[in-house]
Amino acid sequence: MLKLNKISKADNKVIPNIIMGLKDAFPIMLGYFSVAMAFGLLVKSADLYLKDAVLFSTVVFAGASQFMVLNMLINGISVLSIVTATFLVNFRHFIMSASLSSRLHKPHKWQIPFIAFGVTDETFSVVMAREGSLSPIYVMAVSFFSYISWGSGTIAGFLLGTVIPEALGDSLGMGLYVLFMSLLVPEIKKAPKILWVALTAGVLNSVLRYVPLIGSSWSLVLGVLLSALLFTFIFPKGVDVSNE
Protein backbone atom coordinates (compact mmCIF):
# COMPACT_ATOMS: atom_id res chain seq x y z
CA MET A 1 0.00 0.00 0.00
CA LEU A 2 2.66 2.46 1.06
CA LYS A 3 4.79 1.77 -1.99
CA LEU A 4 2.12 3.16 -4.25
CA ASN A 5 2.37 6.55 -2.64
CA LYS A 6 3.29 8.28 -5.87
CA ILE A 7 1.19 11.31 -5.22
CA SER A 8 3.33 14.10 -3.93
CA LYS A 9 2.63 15.04 -0.36
CA ALA A 10 1.78 18.60 -1.24
CA ASP A 11 -0.52 17.50 -4.00
CA ASN A 12 -4.05 18.48 -3.25
CA LYS A 13 -5.62 17.17 -6.44
CA VAL A 14 -9.08 15.94 -5.63
CA ILE A 15 -9.61 12.80 -7.70
CA PRO A 16 -6.25 11.03 -7.12
CA ASN A 17 -6.58 11.67 -3.39
CA ILE A 18 -10.10 10.27 -3.31
CA ILE A 19 -9.00 7.14 -5.19
CA MET A 20 -6.04 6.70 -2.86
CA GLY A 21 -8.41 7.19 0.08
CA LEU A 22 -10.81 4.55 -1.22
CA LYS A 23 -7.98 2.10 -1.71
CA ASP A 24 -6.59 2.64 1.78
CA ALA A 25 -10.06 2.57 3.33
CA PHE A 26 -10.90 -0.80 1.78
CA PRO A 27 -9.77 -3.05 4.68
CA ILE A 28 -11.48 -0.68 7.12
CA MET A 29 -14.66 -0.89 5.08
CA LEU A 30 -14.73 -4.69 5.25
CA GLY A 31 -14.04 -4.73 8.97
CA TYR A 32 -16.46 -1.90 9.73
CA PHE A 33 -19.27 -3.42 7.70
CA SER A 34 -19.22 -6.64 9.65
CA VAL A 35 -18.73 -5.04 13.07
CA ALA A 36 -21.50 -2.55 12.28
CA MET A 37 -23.74 -5.43 11.26
CA ALA A 38 -23.22 -6.91 14.69
CA PHE A 39 -24.14 -3.53 16.16
CA GLY A 40 -27.31 -3.23 14.05
CA LEU A 41 -28.33 -6.71 15.09
CA LEU A 42 -27.78 -5.87 18.78
CA VAL A 43 -29.88 -2.72 18.48
CA LYS A 44 -32.67 -4.80 17.05
CA SER A 45 -32.42 -7.42 19.76
CA ALA A 46 -32.59 -4.61 22.36
CA ASP A 47 -36.06 -3.80 20.97
CA LEU A 48 -34.97 -0.44 19.60
CA TYR A 49 -35.75 0.86 16.12
CA LEU A 50 -33.80 1.05 12.90
CA LYS A 51 -33.70 4.84 13.18
CA ASP A 52 -32.02 4.48 16.60
CA ALA A 53 -29.35 2.23 15.13
CA VAL A 54 -28.78 4.68 12.29
CA LEU A 55 -28.65 7.63 14.70
CA PHE A 56 -25.95 5.98 16.79
CA SER A 57 -23.81 5.03 13.82
CA THR A 58 -24.16 8.21 11.78
CA VAL A 59 -24.21 10.86 14.52
CA VAL A 60 -21.75 9.39 17.02
CA PHE A 61 -19.57 7.24 14.68
CA ALA A 62 -17.46 5.61 17.39
CA GLY A 63 -17.70 1.84 17.45
CA ALA A 64 -16.54 0.72 20.88
CA SER A 65 -18.62 3.35 22.67
CA GLN A 66 -21.74 2.41 20.70
CA PHE A 67 -21.56 -1.20 21.86
CA MET A 68 -20.86 -0.09 25.40
CA VAL A 69 -23.78 2.33 25.48
CA LEU A 70 -26.18 -0.18 24.04
CA ASN A 71 -25.27 -2.48 26.87
CA MET A 72 -25.79 0.34 29.38
CA LEU A 73 -29.18 1.19 27.88
CA ILE A 74 -30.31 -2.41 28.19
CA ASN A 75 -29.23 -2.37 31.82
CA GLY A 76 -31.04 0.90 32.49
CA ILE A 77 -27.93 2.93 33.39
CA SER A 78 -28.47 6.69 33.85
CA VAL A 79 -27.92 9.15 31.00
CA LEU A 80 -25.19 10.94 32.94
CA SER A 81 -23.22 7.71 33.38
CA ILE A 82 -23.69 6.88 29.71
CA VAL A 83 -22.40 10.25 28.56
CA THR A 84 -19.46 10.21 30.99
CA ALA A 85 -18.46 6.71 29.94
CA THR A 86 -18.69 7.72 26.27
CA PHE A 87 -16.41 10.68 26.90
CA LEU A 88 -13.84 8.47 28.62
CA VAL A 89 -13.89 5.75 25.99
CA ASN A 90 -13.59 8.19 23.11
CA PHE A 91 -11.07 10.56 24.67
CA ARG A 92 -8.22 8.70 22.96
CA HIS A 93 -9.24 10.45 19.73
CA PHE A 94 -8.04 13.69 21.31
CA ILE A 95 -4.45 12.44 21.16
CA MET A 96 -4.94 11.07 17.67
CA SER A 97 -6.33 14.38 16.42
CA ALA A 98 -3.30 16.20 17.83
CA SER A 99 -0.93 13.79 16.12
CA LEU A 100 -2.90 13.97 12.87
CA SER A 101 -3.00 17.75 12.99
CA SER A 102 0.80 17.89 13.01
CA ARG A 103 0.87 15.98 9.70
CA LEU A 104 -1.94 17.69 7.79
CA HIS A 105 -0.96 19.70 4.76
CA LYS A 106 -2.58 23.13 5.00
CA PRO A 107 -6.20 22.18 5.69
CA HIS A 108 -8.86 24.74 4.79
CA LYS A 109 -11.05 26.01 7.60
CA TRP A 110 -14.11 24.25 6.19
CA GLN A 111 -12.30 20.92 6.10
CA ILE A 112 -11.38 20.84 9.80
CA PRO A 113 -14.85 19.92 11.15
CA PHE A 114 -15.13 17.02 8.67
CA ILE A 115 -11.63 15.74 9.33
CA ALA A 116 -12.34 15.88 13.08
CA PHE A 117 -15.59 13.96 12.75
CA GLY A 118 -13.86 11.17 10.87
CA VAL A 119 -11.07 10.45 13.39
CA THR A 120 -11.33 6.83 14.55
CA ASP A 121 -8.69 4.30 15.64
CA GLU A 122 -8.76 2.78 12.17
CA THR A 123 -8.87 5.89 9.96
CA PHE A 124 -6.15 7.51 12.06
CA SER A 125 -3.89 4.47 11.88
CA VAL A 126 -4.34 4.09 8.14
CA VAL A 127 -3.70 7.70 7.14
CA MET A 128 -0.72 8.06 9.48
CA ALA A 129 0.92 5.06 7.79
CA ARG A 130 1.33 7.25 4.72
CA GLU A 131 4.57 9.16 4.56
CA GLY A 132 5.10 12.88 4.74
CA SER A 133 2.37 15.44 5.12
CA LEU A 134 -1.17 14.41 4.35
CA SER A 135 -3.62 15.91 1.92
CA PRO A 136 -6.84 16.88 3.76
CA ILE A 137 -8.83 15.51 0.82
CA TYR A 138 -7.15 12.12 1.21
CA VAL A 139 -7.83 12.05 4.96
CA MET A 140 -11.45 13.01 4.40
CA ALA A 141 -11.83 10.34 1.73
CA VAL A 142 -10.56 7.57 4.03
CA SER A 143 -13.01 8.70 6.72
CA PHE A 144 -15.89 9.12 4.29
CA PHE A 145 -15.67 5.61 2.87
CA SER A 146 -15.24 4.14 6.33
CA TYR A 147 -18.24 6.13 7.53
CA ILE A 148 -20.43 4.94 4.67
CA SER A 149 -19.47 1.37 5.42
CA TRP A 150 -20.17 1.79 9.14
CA GLY A 151 -23.60 3.29 8.43
CA SER A 152 -24.64 0.81 5.78
CA GLY A 153 -23.35 -2.12 7.83
CA THR A 154 -25.53 -0.95 10.72
CA ILE A 155 -28.61 -0.87 8.51
CA ALA A 156 -27.77 -4.25 6.96
CA GLY A 157 -27.28 -5.81 10.38
CA PHE A 158 -30.59 -4.49 11.63
CA LEU A 159 -32.51 -5.61 8.54
CA LEU A 160 -30.76 -8.86 7.67
CA GLY A 161 -29.89 -10.07 11.13
CA THR A 162 -27.84 -13.23 11.11
CA VAL A 163 -27.27 -13.61 7.39
CA ILE A 164 -23.47 -13.51 7.81
CA PRO A 165 -22.33 -16.67 9.65
CA GLU A 166 -20.96 -15.81 13.05
CA ALA A 167 -17.51 -17.21 12.29
CA LEU A 168 -17.16 -15.03 9.20
CA GLY A 169 -18.40 -11.97 11.08
CA ASP A 170 -15.87 -12.57 13.86
CA SER A 171 -13.13 -13.10 11.30
CA LEU A 172 -13.88 -9.81 9.55
CA GLY A 173 -14.02 -8.06 12.93
CA MET A 174 -10.64 -9.59 13.71
CA GLY A 175 -9.60 -8.05 10.39
CA LEU A 176 -9.42 -4.66 12.08
CA TYR A 177 -6.65 -5.95 14.39
CA VAL A 178 -5.02 -7.54 11.36
CA LEU A 179 -5.13 -4.11 9.76
CA PHE A 180 -3.35 -2.57 12.76
CA MET A 181 -0.73 -5.30 12.64
CA SER A 182 -0.15 -4.88 8.91
CA LEU A 183 0.30 -1.14 9.37
CA LEU A 184 2.71 -1.59 12.26
CA VAL A 185 5.00 -4.35 10.96
CA PRO A 186 6.36 -2.54 7.87
CA GLU A 187 7.21 0.43 10.10
CA ILE A 188 9.08 -1.87 12.48
CA LYS A 189 10.94 -3.34 9.53
CA LYS A 190 12.03 0.15 8.48
CA ALA A 191 12.89 1.27 12.02
CA PRO A 192 13.15 -1.52 14.61
CA LYS A 193 12.92 0.93 17.52
CA ILE A 194 9.24 1.35 16.69
CA LEU A 195 8.73 -2.14 18.10
CA TRP A 196 9.67 -0.80 21.53
CA VAL A 197 7.30 2.16 21.27
CA ALA A 198 4.39 -0.10 20.31
CA LEU A 199 5.24 -2.85 22.76
CA THR A 200 5.63 -0.45 25.67
CA ALA A 201 2.25 1.13 24.93
CA GLY A 202 0.64 -2.31 24.64
CA VAL A 203 2.12 -3.59 27.88
CA LEU A 204 1.19 -0.39 29.74
CA ASN A 205 -2.35 -0.62 28.34
CA SER A 206 -2.58 -4.24 29.51
CA VAL A 207 -1.26 -3.55 32.99
CA LEU A 208 -2.74 -0.15 33.82
CA ARG A 209 -6.32 -1.28 33.22
CA TYR A 210 -6.11 -3.36 36.38
CA VAL A 211 -5.10 -0.36 38.47
CA PRO A 212 -8.07 0.93 40.47
CA LEU A 213 -9.69 4.10 39.03
CA ILE A 214 -7.89 3.75 35.68
CA GLY A 215 -9.83 1.09 33.79
CA SER A 216 -9.48 0.24 30.13
CA SER A 217 -10.31 3.64 28.62
CA TRP A 218 -7.71 5.59 30.59
CA SER A 219 -5.20 2.76 30.35
CA LEU A 220 -5.12 3.10 26.57
CA VAL A 221 -4.73 6.86 26.72
CA LEU A 222 -2.08 6.68 29.44
CA GLY A 223 -0.25 3.80 27.77
CA VAL A 224 -0.01 5.74 24.51
CA LEU A 225 1.01 9.03 26.14
CA LEU A 226 3.59 7.50 28.49
CA SER A 227 5.16 5.38 25.77
CA ALA A 228 5.38 8.28 23.32
CA LEU A 229 6.77 10.54 26.03
CA LEU A 230 9.32 7.99 27.18
CA PHE A 231 10.64 7.39 23.67
CA THR A 232 10.77 11.09 22.89
CA PHE A 233 13.67 11.06 25.36
CA ILE A 234 15.07 7.58 24.65
CA PHE A 235 15.12 8.06 20.87
CA PRO A 236 15.44 11.86 20.53
CA LYS A 237 16.28 11.63 16.83
CA GLY A 238 12.94 10.17 15.85
CA VAL A 239 12.21 7.25 13.60
CA ASP A 240 10.15 8.59 10.76
CA VAL A 241 12.72 9.91 8.33
CA SER A 242 10.05 11.29 6.05
CA ASN A 243 8.50 13.35 8.81
CA GLU A 244 10.83 16.33 8.32
Member of 8, 162, 206, 211 binding another protein (CB under 8 A)? 206
φ, ψ (nearest 5 deg) of residue 104: -75, 140
Asked whether the CA dihedral 161, 162, 163, 167 is positive or negative, the reply is: positive
Degrees to nearest 5, angle at CA 171 with 167 and 172 = 120
Of residues 66 through 85, those in contact with another protein by CB under 8 A are 69, 73, 79, 82-83
Decide if 122 contacts 21 (C-beta within 8 A): no
**Which segment (6-14, 148-156, 167-175) binds another protein by CB under 8 A?**
167-175
- Decide: helix, strand or coil at residue 24: helix
Count CB neighbours of 212 within 10 A.
5
Distance CA 180, CA 121 (A): 9
Distance CA 17, CA 25 (A): 12
φ, ψ (nearest 5 deg) of residue 120: -130, 170
Of residues 183 through 202, those in contact with another protein by CB under 8 A are 183-187, 189, 194, 197-202
Of residues 98 through 157, those in contact with another protein by CB under 8 A are 98-105, 107, 112-113, 115-117, 119, 121, 124-125, 128-129, 133
**Choice between 15 and 80, CB closer to another protein:** 80
Residue 176 is a binding residue for another protein (CB under 8 A): yes
Residue 5 is a binding residue for another protein (CB under 8 A): no
**Which segment (8-16, 50-58, 144-152, 153-161) binds another protein by CB under 8 A?**
50-58
**Choice between 16 and 26, CB closer to another protein:** 26
Q: How far is the CB of 66 from another protein (least distance, A)?
A: 8
Residue 79 burial (10 A CB sphere; 0-12, 13-18, 19+): exposed
**Which segment (5-13, 14-22, 147-155, 162-170) binds another protein by CB under 8 A?**
162-170
Residue 210 is a binding residue for another protein (CB under 8 A): no
Of residues 85 through 104, those in contact with another protein by CB under 8 A are 86-87, 90-104
Member of 22, 26, 214, 215 binding another protein (CB under 8 A)? 26
Member of 14, 19, 160, 168 binding another protein (CB under 8 A)? 168
Distance CA 105, CA 114 (A): 15
Decide if 129 contacts 101 (C-beta within 8 A): no
